[in-house]
Structure 1
């Protein structure tokens, strides 16, 4: 009886690059390999996120129910409009990341991280849903109100176009309708860049509004604490994971080619995402809405501060159209996030500034001489 080989997309029996797999579009996966850890930093970040797993039902929002009824209308509007975008964006992230990358990821380490990030985004999206479910007497009415905030949906326009393109390319490739060529590689590369822009620029911009309300008014503390958990996941792990993947990719010939061929698109994407956040900031502060101790310009400076980090990572800070901001304009963010005082450098240089408050035991099975 002749034994036929399994389809290579299911299990690649001829895989020969276990010691040095490409992150995307290399040889199809075979054994899930933890013997050869070619990307140790990616694996560490995966483990970090796995170890800090949490649940969306950890917070009691009963006080928020009362506060939404009694706070001034401007505070109510700004919080609801911010929650609208956060819920929508994490809904997109929770079903896009693993879905796009499943047909093209060819590294066990990278796949582990992206699956864990996807699971984490599900918790984030569920948390926003639980905030609405528990903070309002008629959550379905608020759901409809959230979906009516067209300005929030428009914030996703730039990244959603890149996401949609990557979906098409990834599944055309899986169906054998697209070659494993540089054009295919570039589309997935730009998807990874778009995820970084969304998480580092857009998510951080929205978190600043949430924390500004909680910090300035003292209201909605359970929401603030829940979003703080989300923000720390995003800032300390998701963003650093995206950067680490892109650093690893640019060390390969195809990755360097992708960066060179996509450099103009990367600059355009950073510019457009940043512009959309500035436009949203103008909208958030319009119609009399305000944040205690925070001006519209300070919030725009925060957007530029976040975007500067991404521009510097790609070493395109001299090509972007927005002002470069290197000093944090919102000091209260340092008490809500574990923030480094110095922003990350370019993608070819490893940094460990984000590893804040992390301890790893390395003395197991060691015997120490102790003098009494």
Structure 2
């Protein structure tokens, strides 16, 4: 068991596996095995931000003056986003930790987990600052059973991973193909959540914010969307692409292909069901309808299918982006305002690097 803490007998520093290789010893940056994963870790680090960077006080008035349709859509969307990021903040690095045997991947996913805490805290701060009595809104959010159902399939995969993770850490599961398959399925589920479900949810938020309301919420969730699209989903993609080039990954894909296709379809179908519910009971949204949002969801899902090399006739995927307004929201630089107008959202930290080590400068008098 001590090797779970530090593996003094580790011999695979030259090329450790991402999962289920030799237990980790020294945190190794000398041997660069997975440069794309390390790059994503560094980028996530440079995008560090805080949930209290935005002043949500104006949103209190926006919620009070919003139409019932807009109010309901924003609350129901926040309900799912808060729930999903609460899950993500506790179910990535902590669950996958016993399986990870790469320094780069551990660095990346623990940083993503920390970032998911910021996301969950942001939704909490939005509610805390936007309502006179936040406890009433918490109760209202927790009553949105359709939001819970929307997350069911992903939560099930995470629960399977959680069980396998703890059993493996306690040496109650062998290092075999079945254990690997559980990891593979959890990563697929994570990719579906971050590449399909979050992107579909953000479209509702940004469509509402495009009306001029809830601007602080829009800017905060724009930061979240940047993290999810540019880092989290890309990390999932990089991991899956790497594993699909390994023998174990190819076996997992072959053995679990039917389950993988079913998982993706259940996620997509849950989104389409959610969209139908969102636009039911007379709810409307300026510049958006159920058909356009469904098309955007399928547009995002197409990327997951293509990453995994799966062809399907179950859905008809759009050939082009059906929601052009999403391009400006998903590219923060396109909506950057002056500091006098609103809180700044587009920035990175730690992007200045010295390149003058060992250089002797001549004095110029």
Same fold (TM over 0.5): yes
Residue in structure 1 matching 2:79, options 84, 90, 94? 84
Indicate if the aligned counterparts of 2:205 and 2:218 stay in contact, CA closer than 8 A: yes
CA distance in 2, matches of 1:319, 1:280: 22
- Partner in structure 2 of residue 329 of structure 1: 322
Indicate if the aligned counterparts of 2:241 and 2:307 stay in contact, CA closer than 8 A: no
Q: Which runs of 4+ in 1 moved over 2 A?
A: 358-367
TM superposition shift of 1:71 = 1.0
The CA deviation string for residues 115-141 of structure 1, in whole angstroms up to 9 with x for no partner, is 000000000000000000000000000
Residue in structure 1 matching 2:236, options 242, 250, 260? 242
- Partner in structure 2 of residue 343 of structure 1: none
The CA deviation string for residues 61-118 of structure 1, in whole angstroms up to 9 with x for no partner, is 1110011011111100000000000000000000000121111111010000000000
Question: Within the alignment, does 1:64 sit opposite 2:55 as a pair?
Answer: no
Q: Relative contact order (alpha carbons < 8 A, sep ≥ 6): 1 or 2 greater?
A: 2
| CA separation of 1:11 and 1:359: change in aligned 2, threshold 3 A | closer
Question: Within the alignment, does 1:125 sit opposite 2:120 as a pair?
Answer: yes
Residue in structure 1 matching 2:312, options 310, 313, 319? 319
- Partner in structure 2 of residue 148 of structure 1: 143
User: Which region of structure 1 is more displaced relative to structure 2, 134-143 or 161-170?
Assistant: 161-170
- Partner in structure 1 of residue 247 of structure 2: 253
Residue in structure 1 matching 2:130, options 108, 132, 135? 135
Indicate if the aligned counterparts of 1:308 and 1:326 stay in contact, CA closer than 8 A: no
TM superposition shift of 1:7 = 1.3
Indicate if the aligned counterparts of 1:267 and 1:320 stay in contact, CA closer than 8 A: no
Indicate if the aligned counterparts of 2:295 and 2:317 stay in contact, CA closer than 8 A: no
TM superposition shift of 1:158 = 0.5
Indicate if the aligned counterparts of 1:159 and 1:194 stay in contact, CA closer than 8 A: yes
Residue in structure 1 matching 2:291, options 297, 310, 328? 297
TM superposition shift of 1:196 = 0.4
TM superposition shift of 1:364 = 4.5
CA distance in 2, matches of 1:151, 1:306: 21
Indicate if the aligned counterparts of 2:56 and 2:216 stay in contact, CA closer than 8 A: yes
- Aligned residues between the structures: 345
Indicate if the aligned counterparts of 1:271 and 1:320 stay in contact, CA closer than 8 A: no
- Unmatched runs of 5 consecutive residues or more in structure 1: 1-5, 340-357, 368-372
CA distance in 2, matches of 1:175, 1:35: 30
| CA separation of 1:364 and 1:320: change in aligned 2, threshold 3 A | farther
TM superposition shift of 1:159 = 0.6
TM superposition shift of 1:48 = 0.3
- Partner in structure 2 of residue 163 of structure 1: 158
- Partner in structure 1 of residue 14 of structure 2: 19
CA distance in 2, matches of 1:45, 1:33: 17
RMSD (Å) for aligned C-alpha atoms: 2.0
Residue in structure 1 matching 2:108, options 78, 90, 113? 113
- Unmatched runs of 5 consecutive residues or more in structure 2: 333-349, 360-365
The CA deviation string for residues 311-357 of structure 1, in whole angstroms up to 9 with x for no partner, is 111111x2251222231100100000139xxxxxxxxxxxxxxxxxx
CA distance in 1, matches of 2:356, 2:271: 48
- Partner in structure 2 of residue 222 of structure 1: 216
CA distance in 1, matches of 2:309, 2:219: 34
Question: Within the alignment, does 1:194 sit opposite 2:184 as a pair?
Answer: no
TM superposition shift of 1:252 = 1.5
Q: Secondary structure at the match of 2:49?
A: coil
